[in-house]
């Protein structure tokens, strides 16, 4: 920006600054086949109370249910249902 004024520089910096991404909530899976996995979703969307994981293979299908336990409004944990 050769010959730019202070005002030009301020305007340029403002337009080049990265825009903040939409805030996202984080959800961890605890137990079962999804243990340790992490998922995010937009903060304004409602997370399902139960997640069903179906494992298909040559034998019978295996179904695991995970229940949501919210954490202070910033996501939560999906814990394997016993």
Residue 79 is given by DSSP the state E
CB 38 within 8 A of CB 72: no
Give the per-residue pLDDT at 46: 87
Q: What is the pLDDT of residues 40-66, one digit of tens each?
A: 999 888 889 999 999 888 889 999 999
Q: Give me the chain's average pLDDT, please.
A: 82
Residue 67 pLDDT exceeds 80:
yes
Strand 75-80 versus strand 50-55 pairing type: unpaired
Give the per-residue pLDDT at 45: 85
Please give the Cα distance from 27 to 80 (Å, whole number): 13
Give the per-residue pLDDT at 1: 46
Give the per-residue pLDDT at 70: 86
């Amino acid at each position: 920006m050769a010959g730019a004024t202070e005002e030009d520089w301020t305007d340029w910096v403002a337009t080049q600054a990265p825009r903040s991404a939409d805030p996202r909530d984080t959800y961890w899976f605890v137990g079962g086949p999804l243990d340790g996995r992490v998922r995010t979703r937009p903060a304004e969307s409602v997370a399902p109370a139960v997640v069903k994981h179906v494992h298909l293979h040559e034998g019978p299908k295996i179904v695991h249910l995970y229940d949501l336990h919210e954490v202070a409004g910033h996501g939560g944990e999906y814990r394997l249902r016993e």
